[in-house]
Every structure is written in C-alpha cells, then in structure tokens.
Amino acid sequence: MKNFIEKFVTNENCALTFDWVILTIAFVLLGAIIGTSFAPGVDTVAADISNELSSASRSDLSN
C-alpha cells in the first residue's frame, strides 16, 4: 500500500489529479464556511423586510 501511494504521488498525472481534488475540497469547504456564516444574517434581514412589508399601508407602497 505504501508503495502504491508513493508511486501515485510521484506520477505527474496522478499528482495533478491529487492537486485538483485538494483544490476542490478547499473551495467546497470555503463555500460551506461562508454560507453558514451569512445564514443568520440573511434570516434576520428577511424577517425585517417581511415585517416592514406587512406593516406598510397601501399608500406607502405606491410611492
């Protein structure tokens, strides 16, 4: 098994594949971190907009 891993890492085609896998994982994790950090703020803003629209009168919306 160790020999297989050494050959895999030293082979240029496999090393390139390995690089793309690592980059893809990094981008997916970065997206997940960013998405979870913005989620509470988006819920708050959506609730504020909903409250403003539900409390607005018809004349407020026409201007």
Query: What is the per-residue pLDDT for 56?
Result: 77
Q: Where are the domains of the chain?
A: 23-54
What does the alpha-carbon distance between residue 21 and residue 16 come to, in Å, rounded to a whole number? 9
Q: Report the chain's mean pLDDT, rounded to a whole number.
A: 83
End-to-end CA distance of the chain: 72
The yes-or-no verdict on residue 8 having pLDDT over 90 is no
The yes-or-no verdict on residue 13 having pLDDT over 90 is no
CB-CB contact of 15 with 9 (8 Å): yes
Count of Cβ atoms closer than 10 Å to residue 17 Cβ: 12
58 versus 7: which is more confidently predicted? 7
Mean pLDDT of 43-63: 81
pTM: 0.50
Q: Is the dihedral of CA 18, 24, 28, 34 positive or negative?
A: positive
5 versus 33: which is more confidently predicted? 33
Tokens of 36: 């979870």
